[in-house]
Amino acid sequence: MIWQQRKSMVLKNATLHIGNGEVLQGDMKIEDGKITEIGKSLSGGEVQDMTGKDIFPGFIDSGNFLGTQDMAYFAKDYNENSSPVTPYLDIWHSLDPDELSLQEFYKAGITSTVVTPGNEGLLGGTCAVVKTVGKNINKITVRRDVALKASFTSEVIRVFQNKGGPKTPMAMADALKTALSQTEYTSDYRGQRTKEVMDAVRSGRMPVLAACENVSEIERFFDVTKSYPDMKIILTLSYEADRAEKSIKERNAAVVLGDTSRSSLQMAHKTNFAKLVDMAESGTKFGLTVLGTDMAWGKEMLLWTASKLMQTCKSSETIVSMLTANPAELFGVSDRIGLLKAGLDADYVVYEGDPVKKCGARLLETVINGETVYQA
């Protein structure tokens, strides 16, 4: 890994993919780890000619648990199995920066990730956004409590049916309704922390990231939460989101699409990629993650899914937004990352070619907080 920070630098004559659909030919100025200016004929500091190069905001994985498990012993520190309802937990306390760095996300252009609890808890705890490499947990943290992780999948039943938890989908629905309708809490830390999180979720100040793998789980989740119109819902691992398009639009929900590299998964869910693209082009916010239904298969899977969606997409910048601006907005960190914009962290990737359009595009450099962490 390369750690090289320049106090002041101007990247000249680049193709700048801003992240919000705009593409500019021009310059970008970096100072002290921040983007300070986007424009033409910029000057000051070290000059680096980027003619023929494409620069993107650093890619963001929209939700996985890598970095919260011991890879040597496969300890699942992202699943708390003492109770199916633990909204008071914070995934940040399970995060190991060294384990996250071992994934080498930055070698695939991924500079930030949404770290989440797993799918075994009905309400598993809150999520955090972190940079994918750094010297310690405080330095890599962008923001904590960016969403509450929920799971409406069969994993909850599998884990808790013999522990006094839900044994059926209808029992899961009842448990979620009970958790959402609770208004009185104990005065201890756990009680007050639960109140803080649940009040934020009900009011829409904190989104809920809900794992729903099939259309039935999506529709059931919407039904259980219909009494809370202000709730912001982000569906994740939702391979059948195209079959719930009407409900997703009515609830103004967003979708995180998981790893699609396995054809068996696509066949099982009958995933309609063209329809998903239509939804994105019609205004539904999408993010992407390397996480699959059972595990994360590797850093390369983010661009694999991007290229799959690109096959029917009218504009590659729609897909670029799924990797950058969309997740930053959905998880409340657009003041730090997700765009090439003055004032934001200097997290960006330099490519020879456009990786959304061309499988042969080559990653030349990954920069986090103005520091080069990878060079080809």
- Model pLDDT for residues 115-145, shown as the tens digit of each residue: 999 999 999 999 999 999 987 999 999 999 9
CA distances (Å), 46 to each of 7, 9, 29, 86, 157, in order? 9, 4, 10, 50, 57
**Which tens digits make up the pLDDT trace of 248-273?**
999 999 999 988 877 666 667 788 99
The Cα 132–Cα 115 span in angstroms is 10
244 and 186 in a single domain? The answer is: yes
Of 361, 362, 355, 321, the residue nearest 340 (C-alpha): 321
pLDDT reported for residue 259: 86
Query: Looking at the structure, do residues 205 and 259 belong to the same domain, yes or no?
Result: yes
10 and 96 both lie in a single domain? no
The CATH number that applies at residue 361 is 2.30.40.10
The CATH number covering residue 323 comes to 3.20.20.140
H-helix segments, the chain: 97-102, 137-140, 154-160, 169-181, 189-203, 215-224, 245-250, 263-269, 273-281, 301-310, 316-323, 325-330
280-311 residues labelled b (16+ CB within 10 A) or e (exposed): beeebbbbbbbbbbeebebbebbbbbbbbbbe
pLDDT of residue 224: 98
Q: For residue 23, what are the β-bridge partners?
A: 17
The verdict on residue 335 lying in a domain is no
DSSP sequence for 136-151: SHHHHEEEEEEEEEEE
The pLDDT value given to residue 350: 98
Predicted pLDDT of residue 4: 62
- List, in order, residues 6 or more apart from 219 with CB less than 8 Å away: 244, 247
DSSP-derived 3-state class of residue 153: coil
Both 98 and 185 in one domain: the answer is yes
So what's the pLDDT on residue 96?
A: 92
pTM as predicted: 0.95
Residue 239, amino acid: Y
Q: Is 315 helix (H, G, I), strand (E, B) or coil?
A: coil
> CA torsion angle for 305, 308, 309, 313 (degrees, to 10)?
150
Pairing label, strands 110-115, 59-64: parallel
Q: Are 271 and 242 in contact (CB under 8 A)?
A: yes
Q: Which residues pair with 125 in a beta bridge?
A: 149
Predicted local confidence at residue 7, as pLDDT: 75
Check: CB of residue 114 under 8 Å from CB of residue 129.
Answer: yes
Three-state DSSP string of 156-170 = HHHHHCCCCCCCCHH
Same domain for 349 and 230: no
Cα radius of gyration (the chain): 20
Domain extent at residue 215: 59-330
- Specify the pLDDT at position 48: 93
The verdict on residue 212 lying in a domain is: yes
Return the pLDDT at 45. 84
Q: Which residues of the chain have pLDDT under 70?
A: 1-6, 71-74, 263-267, 294-297
In a domain, 109, yes or no: yes
**Count of structural domains, the chain:** 2
Q: Determine the pLDDT at residue 202.
A: 97
